[in-house]
Amino acid sequence: MSFQNETKISVTLTQNPRPKPADASLSFGKVMTDHMFIMNYTEGKGWHDPRVVPYAPLEMDPATQVLHYGQAVFDGLKAFRGKDGKIRLFRAQRHAERLNKSCKALCIPEMDVDLIRRSFEAIVEADNEWVPHTQGTSLYIRPTVIATDVMLGVHPSHTYTYFVICSPVGAYYKEGVKPVRILVSDNHVRAVQGGLGEAKTAANYAASLSAQQEAQAAGYTQVLWLDGVERKYIDEVGTMNIMMRIGDEVITPPLAGTILDGVTRNSTLQLMRDWGLKVSERRISIDEVMEAGRKGTLLEMWGTGTAAVVSPVGELGYKGEKLIIGNGQTGELTQKLYDAIVAIQYGQSNDAHGWTSEVKVPVSA
């Protein structure tokens, strides 16, 4: 790898800081902070010039590769301000590693993981005043890599830009954790084995839009994706991993190439194992889930993801049948997982697995 720990990140702070929105007015992803992190890749030279600069549009030739062939990857993580005033990143290392894994899947040259992690720290340090204060709010961090060769023709680009932007986001649940209605899609698929399902790449999200639109038109919040071959086994839900409690077993689909290796999935699985619960990463068919629902053994179902932490599923629609799960209420285990993760993120409980890392902020004069 071309970068060592001591690679210097240059910092140019804005001369025109913008007013920060009130915490209560924040939603998701609408307001960007004052700075961005940028680094470039040139074949023969490697990744170079890591820097924090004032936030600004990227200038692009209309023939830039990413605009035509979608060679792009991204990730998403959060920084939280605890009551103790400390700012913590949640599982920065794992997000950095996943970004590199996505790069590999899209033929993008990998970066030094340590430098990716430092890019998160550098941007949060520069924009530390943008980390909102109210419990439930956070600073969303969006690292992205795009192919920047200017030419038409499908090939892996010889040049790339890595950038990290940030957005202060409001509490996902303003009035407590709330169950959603999910439609099982049997006419659209998101990914197949051998495809891009486990990469966080733009194409997967473009592929999800029409199914999502159909689900919303039918009164549902999100889509539950089935496997792309038999349309029988459960993959994931919307932009979250899926878990369910059937009897005394918690089941989640395995990481077999078609779903994202969710950081929240990994964290919740770890916690449940710590608590001594029976947790299985195994294939589960939609028929098994519906049957358990009819019999009353499907006790809870929830999605996991950075945006919501957990999102309980209160209703499942499949082939005209409606399954109400847990009386449409948030289940006990779902709520327990939410509370446990949030407490770690805001520094309110023991971080036994070392998932959080503090971002040191310069003391202003």
Classify residue 288 as exposed, middle or buried by CB count within 10 Å of its CB (0-12, 13-18, 19+).
middle
Selected from 148, 221, 304, 345, the binder of ligand PLP by CB under 6 A is 304
Judged by CB under 6 A, does residue 306 bind ligand PLP? yes
Instruction: Look up residue 36 and give its amino acid.
Output: M
Burial annotation 140-174 (CB, 10 A radius, 16+ → b, else e): bbbbbbbbbbeeeeeeebebbbbbbbbbbbbbbbe
Judged by CB under 6 A, does residue 144 bind ligand PLP? no
Residue with tokens 């993008």: 108
Contacts of 266 (CB under 8 A, 6+ apart): 94
Residue placing its CB nearer to ligand PLP in the complex, 3 or 172: 172
Query: Smallest distance, Å, CB 309 to ligand PLP?
Result: 9
Judged by CB under 6 A, does residue 236 bind ligand PLP? yes
Instruction: Look up residue 17 and give its amino acid.
Output: P
> What is the Cα Rg of the chain in Å?
21
Judged by CB under 6 A, does residue 305 bind ligand PLP? yes
Selected from 184, 240, 269, 272, the binder of ligand PLP by CB under 6 A is 240
Distance CA 288, CA 360 (A): 49
Judged by CB under 6 A, does residue 264 bind ligand PLP? yes
Distance CA 318, CA 289 (A): 11
Considering only CA atoms, which of 68, 65, 47 is closest in space to residue 147? 65
Judged by CB under 6 A, does residue 119 bind ligand PLP? no
3-class secondary-structure state, position 33: coil
Judged by CB under 6 A, does residue 143 bind ligand PLP? no
| Binding positions for ligand PLP, 3-22, rule CB under 6 A | none
Judged by CB under 6 A, does residue 191 bind ligand PLP? no
Query: Smallest distance, Å, CB 102 to ligand PLP?
Result: 11
- What value, to the nearest 5°, has the Cα angle with vertex 285 and ends 280 and 291? 100
Query: Smallest distance, Å, CB 297 to ligand PLP?
Result: 26
Distance CA 86, CA 347 (A): 8
Instruction: Look up residue 242 and give its amino acid.
Output: I
Judged by CB under 6 A, does residue 241 bind ligand PLP? yes
Considering CB under 6 A, how many residues would be counted as binding ligand PLP? 13
Judged by CB under 6 A, does residue 253 bind ligand PLP? no
Residue placing its CB nearer to ligand PLP in the complex, 263 or 359: 263
Judged by CB under 6 A, does residue 188 bind ligand PLP? no
Question: Contact 326/299 with Cβ under 8 angstroms?
Answer: yes
Distance CA 224, CA 183 (A): 6
Q: Give the x/- contact pattern for ligand PLP in 67-96, rule: CB under 6 A.
A: ---------x--------------------
Judged by CB under 6 A, does residue 138 bind ligand PLP? no
Question: Contact 29/70 with Cβ under 8 angstroms?
Answer: no
Selected from 262, 312, 314, 317, the binder of ligand PLP by CB under 6 A is 262
Residue placing its CB nearer to ligand PLP in the complex, 76 or 317: 76
Selected from 263, 269, 301, 325, the binder of ligand PLP by CB under 6 A is 263
Question: Contact 106/71 with Cβ under 8 angstroms?
Answer: yes
Residue placing its CB nearer to ligand PLP in the complex, 2 or 213: 213
| Binding positions for ligand PLP, 273-292, rule CB under 6 A | none
| Contacts with ligand PLP, residue ranges (CB under 6 A) | 76, 236, 239-241, 260, 262-265, 304-306
